[in-house]
Structure 1
């Protein structure tokens, strides 16, 4: 009788012990989840070769999963429009969008900007791609040519080949074309525009002599200088554009306010205070941080979009 009672008691105690241990663990898992979403799908737009870029973005999955408590999936799109459409169809929850695609995503699908990138300004006077000590929320595009090129002013771009990005690229297409047109040089009519994928490819096309000039962000030469050590010596800037608002981190329509706030908080922590996170942002887009943003910051982009439509 005693043995049977002892055995039953042991089983009961063991069961109770298991329940006591298992329950808090389950509750802890639930408390780790900071959003109501089951997962977070993120997509980047290409600023350099997609395969290289995807490898650089992968660490963000673990970093954000730790902050949000849900699986995070990162991918790189083929172009800007792909991300916008994916957000519109809810296949992508968060997109790293340049200003022009953001404006389209906002107008067409109700996407909302939550953060804007910050970079240390480029010291253009030095001309070596070095940075200033001040974080800024804007950048410029530049028209890049070879150092020994006969192109001395914008009028010399007539009948020349120019490497450009997708037509929705602010630095790789819109701002340079509009600013050049304001100065009397309509490159759409008078030059041959060659589309390349990635600003690194734009720089290399000039360096290798495949094109006479390239529209790239300031200073895109930094992303190729590791392999092309003389890129600054062999190229020069013909013209800089007006200031362009920095890139965005944008959420698709339908993400709740609570989730949006949690994602915003997580990205601020990862991009500004995590060593690995800061490295990812710098390696992928040359970002040095992120800051809260609002839609009105991109009104200048809307103006340039209209100006581009009027160029014939």
Structure 2
């Protein structure tokens, strides 16, 4: 009998413990956005020379500190994966993530895209800016005008400069759309050369180190100062469908009030003369608009197709 009494007591205690845990989990599910930063760490990804980006972005520290009332530390990651991992390990609070890196961060760590960048609409092959701000962009496949490469089929057996495989414009969209047109970047005798920064992609074609490059639309403008004839020598043979613009993403446990506060701070800073100069020089951003996760379903769709490239 003593055994059964003890067993009953243990069972009762376990039941209480489970009930309390359930209550705790229920509360946690509602209040999971619990992190309140005392110092905000903001990290950029290197779309061009990382050292140059950090120098340009550093002044954001003072502007954001003024808006948020806490110290802000700005840095540049080595690549897209590094910043996703840093946000997951809670070493970085806010990341300037391209769409595919955001999707990965959301899947792995429940990171939240609070803003999407707006850029000037790119018009014409000379890529001049239109009057309209848009929350999307496109990727291009560039070749030298004198290369003899006229269409996607001509890329078979060629060497292509690409970005990291998580890069939307520097890998996924052009590779997937090539695949949809019957050209597999992992087959068909194609070689790839990973470069760091879309400017380096343009220069690799310009300098004849590669036959083609995957870059974001208007990337040629990044090297125009060093290569004034780049628009004459390097031309696009293909342009992808619309890609959602870069995000400003916060770590998954960021306090809801702070999400709104950070969102407002970036919007307000972008409207100031100094703030606009910074975001424009770093990423060609004109400002920011509210975002939501469903905006990036197209990225998930392309990601699934990208998995077929190895099959």
User: With structure 1 as the length reference, what TM-score do the two structures score?
Assistant: 0.87
Distance 2:97 2:302 in 1: 17
CA deviation map 1:233-256 (0-9, x unaligned):
111101001111001000001110
Asked whether 1:63 is paired with 2:63, we answer yes
Distance 2:47 2:153 in 1: 28
CA deviation map 1:201-243 (0-9, x unaligned):
0000000110000000001011111221111111110100111
* Residue 153 of structure 1: aligned partner: 151
* Residue 280 of structure 1: aligned partner: 278
* Residue 213 of structure 1: aligned partner: 212
Residues matched between the structures, number: 275
CA displacement at 1:37 relative to structure 2: 2.0
Secondary structure of the residue aligned to 1:151 is coil
Secondary structure of the residue aligned to 1:162 is strand
* Residue 131 of structure 1: aligned partner: 129
Distance 2:140 2:240 in 1: 6
Distance 1:39 1:262 in 2: 14
Secondary structure of the residue aligned to 2:103 is helix
Gaps of 5+ in 1: 1-34
Alignment of 1:20-99 (within 5 A): 36-99=36-99
Q: 8 Å contact 2:195–2:201 — kept in the other structure?
A: yes
Distance 1:239 1:36 in 2: 45
Gaps of 5+ in 2: 1-34
* Residue 194 of structure 1: aligned partner: 193
Asked whether 1:244 is paired with 2:228, we answer no
CA displacement at 1:129 relative to structure 2: 2.1
Distance 1:133 1:139 in 2: 15
Distance 2:265 2:97 in 1: 18
* Residue 204 of structure 1: aligned partner: 203
Secondary structure of the residue aligned to 2:253 is coil
Distance 2:192 2:37 in 1: 43
Secondary structure of the residue aligned to 1:121 is strand
CA deviation map 1:101-129 (0-9, x unaligned):
100100110100100001111113xx222
User: With structure 2 as the length reference, what TM-score do the two structures score?
Assistant: 0.87
Given candidates 156, 169, 190, the residue that maps to 2:167 is 169
Distance 2:37 2:300 in 1: 32
* Residue 118 of structure 1: aligned partner: 118
Secondary structure of the residue aligned to 2:215 is strand
Larger Rg: 1
Distance 2:230 2:122 in 1: 16
What's the Cα RMSD here? Answer: 1.0
